[in-house]
Structure 1
Amino acid sequence: MGDFQQFVADVTSRLSTMSKNELYVVGDGLDRDSLWLTFLDSFPAGTNLRFRERSEYDCSTCRAFIKHFGNVVEIHDGRVRTVWSGVSASDPVFSVVAAALDEFVLSLPLSTVFRSGQAQYGTKTTRTLRDGQVEVWHHLHGRVANRHRVEDVGAAQGTFDAAVQVFQRGLAELTHHALDTVVDLIDGNALYRGAEHRQAVTEFRSLQNRWTQATDRRAFVFANAMNPAARLRNTVIGTLVQDLGAGVDLEQAVRSFEAKVAPQNYQRPTALITPGMVKAAMKTIAELGIEESLQRRFARLSDVSVTNVLWVDNDTQARMKDGIEGLLMQAATSRSSGALLRDAKPEEIPVVSFMKDVLPGAASIDLWVANSYEPHLVSLTTGRHPAAPRLFRWDNDFGWSYGGNVTDSIREKVKRAGGNVTGKLRVSLSWFNHDDLDLHVYEPNGDHIWYQEKRNKLDVDMNAGGTLSREPVENVTWTDRVPDGEYRIEVNQYRKRDSTQGGFVIETESNGKTEHYRHERAVGHKETVEVGRMTVAGGVITAFRPGRDVQRGSVARELWGITTEQFVPVSTIMYSPNYFDDNEVGNRHYFFILKGCVNDQPTRGIYNEFLRSDLQPHRKVFEVLGDRTKCEPSPDQLSGLGFSSTIRNSVVAKVTTTGGRRRLISIQF
């Protein structure tokens, strides 16, 4: 007959788990009786005596529960899942019932967000007296989290439905080209206070890219409809994107934007390109015969001559242009299996000495890719037509493109938020969503530093209210006297708003040394996490004991196909193309091409800084051309980390020599 009590327990548990995140309903205008009938009709023959008086499976209590919660769903990893998904999988009767309900509910389209006027539906048991005996009847019942309860269900669902409609129209109407153009205008300082809109535009562009790749696009819209960037279409910057996408002239569209947001006497600091400028530039392009040169792509290993490679991994040699065997080092394949200690201190070696003394004897090289290196992600580009005239100041057709300052270091985020990073001791908190996390520090004498008692040390407190950020920080700095002793550091979740990206990172700095401690699990509402105990002597951190669930190091991320905060194998090392062959033009960059590193975004192949002198008068037009001729992603590209010879920096490399020796080296740029 099946285990009904276990079925009830499974459904109750499933609903409770689902309700921790956002819930939705399917079947707009659904006749709820169809859910109930599906439930009754799904029992295998002989297992539900529907017409027996007071049948356990068809009482009014169970009926009310199914009609209210039967079509409630969640969106998990981009897919819709019902309250019946996976319920009673091992039960021969109720697994069939659950599967039938699951199939029926999944056949219905997403309708709106789930909201309810009450949290509890149904009751666990009821009792009746029959022939002098007390009978206990079990029922379907469930409870949802308070976040789903509202007084006016219709108003809450109406707000959500409007957000979905705005998001859907934006995804359909705002073109990639128009979004890219607006970002370029902002970056070129051509829009009044444009920087204030950059995050919204780029975040919407990211959402749109993910939407185009989503398996279930409607589920993606529902799951992201309440993202502030989703309403871009109905903002003033969204109107500019609409105008450009609809073919409105660039000058006219920008003037319309400025009329809405800028004061009457506003003078744009950067001129937009005009049709006349375009005609003049195109005349020069035609005269120089460089139209084909404008067509760019990601460079491949087979494009690069062996003479321009400083080092190459054994596995990569055969793919080099002109053949590599006999021209580069003959590295042994044997490698030591001994592991380097995590906290081993690396040798500090200048990059010139590394290239001269270490590379010739290296069999393999792995680079530590820290989160802070995201701006150093770089791709090599080249022309689609090798015989076309050169565009750049050096005698080859190669260029490069850095990923850009997408994410700053925690220190830079604190500075940008107005915090002090120059004190004797600093403790900073960084997280990655709209939650309101609070940093608490207890000094050795018991003084409690937090948002209610800042003690002239807490100077940044974000996401407490007003404007919300997805790159928030909090900061505590000691500028004069730093008490010696043990400090306790805690993080409290004051207000939970998001269900994604729930971890955080603590950064400490003293005596010029920076350390990171990460907590990867989401912090629950009102939950307090003990980050650790920090010992300070002479104003310097001498020890740090992490709390439970806290680990040393930053939170690893997936960037360009590689995982950060770990060692990644290097396939090739080379100079930047302006130093290929006999060229020595401008600043030298050192490129470490990483295995598996793939830039998945369209990337500029032309930068004004690269252009030869006779093209410089047309810089503004080439700025636009650079955007219109982006290199499309390809799997066999040359991408990795790049470092300039003019900017002080360092990167840790794990080198295995041809003799099997392993070295940990900090390369100094």
Structure 2
Amino acid sequence: MSDFQQFVADVTTRLSTMSKGELYVAGDGLDRDSLWLTFLDSFPAGTNLRFRERSEYDCSTCRGFIKNFGTVVEIHDGQIRTLWSGVSAADPVFSVVAAAMDAFVRTLPLSTVFRSTQTQYGTRTTRTLRDGQVEVWHHLHGPVAKRHRTEDVGAAQGSFDTTVQVFQRGLAELTRDALDTVVDLIDDNALYRGAEHRRAVTEFRSLQNRWAQASDARAFVFANAMNPAARFRNTVIGTLVQDLSAGVDLEQAVRSFETKVAPHNYQRPKALITPAMVKAAMKTIDELGIEESLQRRFARLSDVSVTNVLWVDNDTQSRMKDGIEGLLMQAATTGSSGARLREAKPEEIPVVTFMKDVLPAATSIDLWVANSHEPHFVSLTTGRHPAAPRLFLWDNEFAWSYGGNVTDSIKEKVKRAGGNVTGKLRVSLSWFNHDDLDLHVFEPNGDHIWYREKRNKLDVDMNAGGAFSREPVENVTWAGKVPDGEYRIEVNQYNKRESSGVGFVIETESNGRIEHYRYEQAVGHQQTVEVGRMTVTGEVITAFRPGKDMRRGNAAKDVWGITTEQFVPVSTIMYSPNYFDDNEVGNRHYFFMLKGCVNDQPTRGIYNEFLRRDLQPHRKVFEVLGDRTKCEPSADQLSGLGFSSTVRNAVTAKVTMTGGRRRLISIQF
């Protein structure tokens, strides 16, 4: 083998090794003819002899190879290596040529990714006839790997170049503090479906850290431009990081993000809290000297003065703060067993009339706690240090907290998940574990609505993948015309994951009427349950025939130790603390504290709307503190149902009066 043949073999081997990975082109705007001349001029003087009219190694096939492959490079361990790197021929002449080409190409800036429409450049051999003899000439040559071939080189390189620009700007402009803040928000569940974006944020953050430490930053950008995170800056989560990096206020930046990704009725489940904000909050606490005031707990019956109680059950009186002596009402005596509770429609009585005319003569009160009352579960809270400065607009240390951690109604769950609950007809599925149940609805014309064919009606599909919820829902809503006829509803168990919390509830709504149908058994893997057949006339549900094992009505639930959908004894009735003693601040609430009602979740003891006026400038700080200084659960707490005087509502009470008479009363708020 001649020395040139060995040189060709070495270059071909080097190209083959490089082609296993991504290839790039150096020399933006470089004249390819000048590259060819550089190759010819790299031969030491006197070594590139003349053959006929041209230099010995000057041929069109080698020229084609040099022009197309001469400036191709790879990026290995963060360093740029050329086609000529490490090529060492037996003949020192070709080693000099390889070294000269390597040095020249390494001076050229990276330009773009290598792509070609060709399958090969150069030819292994050519033959000529000279003096009747066939001469064989060897040339530089090499194939274009399949991964580097494309029918549209311009489009492929243009796309790559755009990605490099986006990646470069993102690395330079997006700050580490902004990236850390977004990760904190995601981990704190303060961004709509934030968990879906966490990997993108952390991947880009990792790339940025490596870029900052790279010895060749440009090479790092090119080597990682194929990473999906390279276009992070132009993603929806990337725009949030952009805003924060540019100094946009946190609330405003997140609000802008939510307008892009969240449904219009979305409400953020948590305040925007980051570790940096918590540090600032703790500093403010010291400056205001209110550390003791911020320490809150659940209130006990012994904390409440009898002067602030409207009614108390006989069994509860002795546990009041002021004992029996201070009671405003006389202890009622128990008379005869009384008449049996009438199975009649409850008397509708305004709450003011109930307080004035019914309570004084009541010896026992039981409330019907429906599932629809779940948002009304409330706890009374107080300060751990009664002598500490007050925080609130009223002159006492008490406050209250409605059940933010209590499971919402199905309708509220659907709204929170971004589903439409305002259509003419709605069918919603709710279940209670990590299983992947699927709702199937067959319209009268046979159209099948399910996760593969949503038909613009199925808008919520949970537990299919990603983050799992123990309060999942699926939702089908008809916003436009609702066809008359019979609808078939089914539920399929696509993926059974758990054996606890089994069963499901179907909620239907039309013309303002909500109905529930429950299935109380486990749904096996791939099992289909026929929920029932629903008749719709004039866009209103006129009949519903439940399927086998389906039960009409809500399933009772355990909420705060109370079993819903039944009567529960009341221990005491009181106004909200803003109406204790002589206070009359804001809206009045009516609290019905229930026996055995125990909120088992940490609860906020501080709300911004309660703060006295001189603390209002520190609202953001107190929003943080309210979430970080929650009251820990206690067994002897005061919890029950609360109703605002400004919101129309009703609750049914079974009241035993003095003398044993029983009344069924619908208290109207």
- Please indicate, yes or no, whether the TM-score normalized by the shorter chain is above 0.5: yes
Shift of 1:415: 3.1
User: Which residue in the other structure is 2:570 paired with?
Assistant: 570
Q: 1:313 to 1:200 in 2, by over 3 A?
A: same
- Give, in whole Å, the separation in 1 of the partners of 2:626 and 2:455: 51
- TM-score with structure 2 setting the length: 0.56
Structure 1 SS opposite 2:631: coil
Give, in angstroms, the shift of residue 275 of structure 1: 6.6
Change beyond 3 A, Cα 1:200–1:266:
closer
**Residue in structure 2 matched with residue 208 of structure 1 by the alignment:** none
1:632 corresponding residue in structure 2: 632
> What is the Cα deviation at residue 468 of structure 1?
4.8
Matched, 1:267 2:248: yes
Q: 1:533 to 1:358 in 2, by over 3 A?
A: farther
Counterpart in 2 of 1:333? 334
Cα separation, 2, equivalents of 1:479 and 1:276: 47
Match of 2:394 in 1: 394
Structure 2 CA distance for aligned equivalents of residues 234 and 265 of structure 1: 20
Residue 373 of structure 1, CA deviation: 3.3
Q: Map Cα deviations across residues 168-200 of structure 1 (whole Å, 9 max, x no partner).
A: xxxxxxxxxxxxxxxxxxxxxx95386654459
Q: State the distance in 1 between where 2:410 and 2:475 align.
A: 10
Secondary structure of 2:182's partner? coil
CA distance in 2, matches of 1:196, 1:608: 23
Correspondence list, 1:225-304, <5 A: 262-263=241-242, 264-265=245-246, 267-269=248-250, 272-273=276-277, 278=282, 281-285=285-289, 292-304=292-304
Code of the aligned partner of 1:265: A
Corresponding residue of 2:438 = 438
Structure 1's 551 and 198: CA in aligned 2 closer, same or farther, altered over 3 A?
farther
**1:461-516 CA deviation, whole Å, 9 max, x = no partner?**
44445665443322233345545555432212233233332211100112211111
Residue-by-residue CA offset, 1:650-669 (whole Å, 9 max, x unaligned):
33333333344444433333
Task: Identify the residue that residue 600 of structure 2 maps to in structure 1.
Answer: 600
Q: Is 655-664 or 574-583 further displaced after alignment?
A: 655-664
TM value normalised by structure 1: 0.56
Distance 1:529 1:606, change over 3 A: same
> Which is further off, 457-466 or 568-577?
457-466
Following superposition, the deviation at residue 360 of structure 1 comes to: 2.9
TM-superposed CA distance for 1:445, in Å, is 6.0
CA contact (8 A) 1:281 1:618 kept: no
525 and 266 in structure 1: CA distance in 2 versus 1, 3 angstrom threshold = farther
Q: Distance in 2 between matches of 1:384 and 1:445?
A: 64
The AA in structure 2 aligned to 1:564 is: T
Q: Which amino acid aligns with 1:639?
A: S
Of the structure 1 ranges 440-449 and 370-379, higher mean CA displacement relative to structure 2 is found in 440-449
Q: Residues 487 and 380 of structure 1: is their aligned pair in 2 closer, same or farther, counting only changes over 3 Å?
A: same
Q: Which deviates more, 644-653 or 624-633?
A: 624-633
Q: Contact between 1:374 and 1:405, CA under 8 Å: does it hold in 2?
A: no
Secondary structure in 2 matching 1:192 = helix
Over 3 Å counting, the alpha-carbon distance change for 1:274 and 1:535 in structure 2 is closer
Q: Residues of 2 paired with 1:259 and 1:488: CA distance?
A: 44
Q: Is the 8 A contact 1:375 1:405 kept in 2?
A: no
Matched AA of 2:436? D
Deviation per residue, 1:388-428 (Å, 9 max, x gap): 44332212221222231553322233334443322332221
Query: 1:601-620 residue pairs with structure 2 within 5 A?
Result: 601-620=601-620
1:370-381 correspondence to structure 2 within 5 Å: 370-381=370-381
Q: Does structure 1 residue 513 correspond to structure 2 residue 513?
A: yes
Secondary structure of 2:353's match? helix
Structure 1: runs of 5 or more not aligned: 1-189, 202-227, 240-257
Whether the 8 Å CA contact 1:462–1:472 is kept in 2: the answer is: yes
Q: In the alignment, what sits opposite 2:427?
A: 427
Equivalent residue for 1:657? 657
Q: How does 1:163-562 map to 2 (within 5 A)?
A: 191-192=181-182, 196-199=186-189, 262-263=241-242, 264-265=245-246, 267-269=248-250, 272-273=276-277, 278=282, 281-285=285-289, 292-324=292-324, 327-333=328-334, 338=340, 345-404=345-404, 406-443=406-443, 448-451=448-451, 454=454, 457-465=457-465, 468-484=468-484, 486-562=486-562
Change (3 A) 1:235 1:510: same
Q: CA deviation at 1:585?
A: 1.0
1:393 counterpart SS class: coil
Change beyond 3 A, Cα 1:380–1:236:
farther
| Alpha-carbon distance between aligned partners in 1 of 2:636 and 2:301, rounded to the nearest angstrom | 8
Q: Which has the larger radius of gyration?
A: 2
**Does the 8 A contact of 1:191 with 1:268 survive in 2?**
no
More deviation in 526-535 or 511-520?
Answer: 526-535
Q: Which residue of 2 aligns with 1:125?
A: none
CA contact (8 A) 1:277 1:618 kept: no
**Residues 602 and 631, structure 1, Cα contact 8 Å, conserved in 2:** yes
CA distance in 1, matches of 2:587, 2:449: 46
Q: Tell me, what secondary structure is at the counterpart of 1:378?
A: strand
Structure-2 separation of matches of 1:283 and 1:449: 59
- Measured in 1, the distance between the counterparts of 2:316 and 2:394 equals 27
**Structure 2 CA distance, aligned partners of 1:233 and 1:445?**
43
Distance 1:497 1:307, change over 3 A: same
Report the Cα offset of residue 301 of structure 1. 1.2
Corresponding position of 1:36 = none
- In structure 2, the CA distance between the partners of 1:618 and 1:438, relative to structure 1 (3 Å rule), is closer
Aligned CA-pair RMSD:
4.1
Amino acid at match of 1:327: L
SS of alignment partner, residue 497 of structure 2: coil
In 1, Cα distance between the equivalents of 2:369 and 2:328? 29
Deviation per CA, 1:242-296, whole angstroms, max 9, x where unpaired?
xxxxxxxxxxxxxxxx9998234363425954877755643442xxxx6544443
Q: 1:455 to 1:664 in 2, by over 3 A?
A: farther
d(CA) in 1 for partners of 2:499, 2:301: 42
Please give the alpha-carbon distance, in whole angstroms, between the structure 1 residues aligned to 2:186 and 2:537.
Answer: 43
Residue 315 and residue 613 in structure 1: after superposition, are their counterparts in 2 closer, same or farther (change >3 A)? same
User: How many equivalent pairs are there?
Assistant: 431
Which amino acid counterpart does residue 267 of structure 1 have in structure 2? V
| Matches of 2:565 and 2:185, distance apart in 1 | 30
Aligned-pair CA distance for 1:346: 4.1
Cα distance change on mapping 1:451 and 1:633 into 2, 3 Å: closer
Note if contact 2:341-2:663 (Cα within 8 Å) is conserved in structure 1: no
> In 2, Cα distance between the equivalents of 1:494 and 1:505?
17
Contact 2:406 2:559 in 1 (8 A): no
Q: How do 1:28-43 and structure 2 match up within 5 A? A: none
In 1, distance between residues paired with 2:649 and 2:494?
37
Q: Following TM superposition, by how much is the alpha carbon of 1:627 offset from its aligned partner in structure 2, in angstroms?
A: 5.0
CA distance in 2, matches of 1:337, 1:191: 65
Range with bigger deviation, 464-473 or 595-604: 464-473
Identify the residue that residue 129 of structure 1 maps to in structure 2: none
Deviations, residues 42-72 of structure 1 (Å, cap 9, x unaligned): xxxxxxxxxxxxxxxxxxxxxxxxxxxxxxx
Is the contact between residue 192 and residue 268 of structure 1 (CA under 8 Å) also seen in structure 2? no
- Give the conservation status (yes or no) of the 8 Å contact 2:306–2:322: yes
Q: 1:638 to 1:280 in 2, by over 3 A?
A: closer
Distance, in Å, in 2 between the alignment partners of 1:579 and 1:563 is 30
User: Which residue of the partner structure matches residue 641 of structure 2?
Assistant: 641
- Structure 1: how far apart are the matches of 2:319 and 2:483? 59
Q: Is the 8 A contact 1:553 1:565 kept in 2?
A: no
Query: 1:543 and 1:362 mapped to 2: Cα distance?
Result: 42
- Give percent identity, aligned residues only: 76
Q: Is 375-384 or 269-278 further displaced after alignment?
A: 269-278
Q: Any idea what SS the aligned residue of 1:615 has?
A: helix
**Which residue number in structure 2 is paired with residue 64 of structure 1?**
none
**Equivalents in 2 of 1:416, 1:278: separation in Å?**
32
CA distance in 1: counterparts of 2:478 and 2:570, whole angstroms: 41
Aligned residue type for 2:400: W
**What is the match of residue 83 of structure 1?**
none
Structure 2 distance, partners of 1:262, 1:329, is 65
